[in-house]
Amino acid sequence: MDGYDERTYGDAFADVYDEWYASISDVDATVTTLLELADGGPVLELGVGTGRIAVPLALAGRGTSPTVTGLDTSQAMLDRLAARDPDRLVQPVLGDMAGPLPPGPFQLVVVAYNTLFNLVTPALQADCFRAVAGVLAPHGRFVVEAFVPDASDERSSDVSVRSLSADRVVLSVSVRDPEHQLAEGQFVEITEAGGVRLRPWSIRYATPDELDRMAISAGFHLEHRWGTFDRTPFDDDANRHVTVYRLT
C-alpha cells in the first residue's frame, strides 16, 4: 500500500483500539499460559499496543516475575499503554519487532493475535525470528499467535459495514492478493462531527509450515502448537494457532 510504513497501523488505530478490539481473544487464558511458559523469567511482548495483554500479564506476575517489557513502533500506542499502566509495571520500548530488540535476556517473547503479520515481507518476518533468538535466554521460548490462512488462490475484495450508529458509520474495504500473501484494507470512518477518517492496515500472512521454517532457520524447534491459548488441540480444521518455539 503506497505510503504505508511500520508506524501507520498503530498511529491510525491507537485511539479506537481498546474500543474495537478489547474482546478479540481470551485475555485470561492468554495470561495464564504465558505465565507458565515464562517460568518466572522476564517477558517481552512484540507489538504491545495499548497493553491489552501486557498489563494483565504484569499484574498477574507481580511479585513472582520481573516486569514485562512491551515494544511497539507507534508512540501513539505506547501513550495509550502508559495511560492504562500508571504504575509502570510494563516497561515501554519504541522500536521495530524486526530488530534491534531490547537486549534482554528474556525467558519468553510473545507476539499475539496476528501481530507478526504486520511485518509485510517474508524477509522482515524472518528477521524477527532471528532478532528474538538473539535476545532470549538459553532454551527460551518464542510464542506466536496467528490465524491459519485460507487456502484459496483467488484474488478477492470486500466492502462491508463494520458498524452503524446514528452519528457514525464505519465501512471495511479490503483486498487479498494470495500470490504475494498480502491482505490490505481501510476502515473508512464517517462521522457527523468529524467527516471522513481513513484507518489503513496491511498484513503479509504466512502458513504455520512457513513460520516453522523461519523458526528452524533461526535456531528454534517446535515445542507446542495449540488451537488457542486455552490449549485446545490444533487440527486440520483449526483457523488459528498458538505456536511455542524453543531455542535449540
Q: Measure the CA–CA gap between 231 and 223, rounded to whole angstroms.
A: 13
pTM for this structure? Answer: 0.95
pLDDT of 80 higher than 80: yes
Q: Measure the CA–CA gap between 42 and 109, rounded to whole angstroms.
A: 9
Confidence band for 63, pLDDT divided at 50, 70 and 90:
low
Residue with cell 478477492: 156
* Cβ atoms of residues 140 and 105 within 8 Å: yes
The topology (CATH level 3) of 156-203 is N-terminal domain of TfIIb (2.20.25)
Domain ranges of the chain: 8-149+206-247, 156-203
Q: 86-143 pLDDT, tens per residue?
A: 999 999 999 999 999 999 899 999 999 999 999 999 999 999 999 999 999 999 999 9
Range with lowest mean pLDDT among 4-8, 47-51, 150-154: 4-8
Q: Measure the CA–CA gap between 54 and 27, rounded to whole angstroms.
A: 10
Q: Measure the CA–CA gap between 131 and 52, rounded to whole angstroms.
A: 23
For residues 31, 36, 40, 41, the Cα torsion angle rounded to the nearest 10 degrees is -80
Most confident of 68-77, 150-159, 192-201: 68-77
The CATH label, of 3.40.50.1010, 3.30.1330.10, 1.10.150.110, 3.40.50.150, for the domain at 8-149+206-247 is: 3.40.50.150
Alpha-carbon distances of 141 from 48, 87, 107, rounded to whole Å: 17, 27, 6
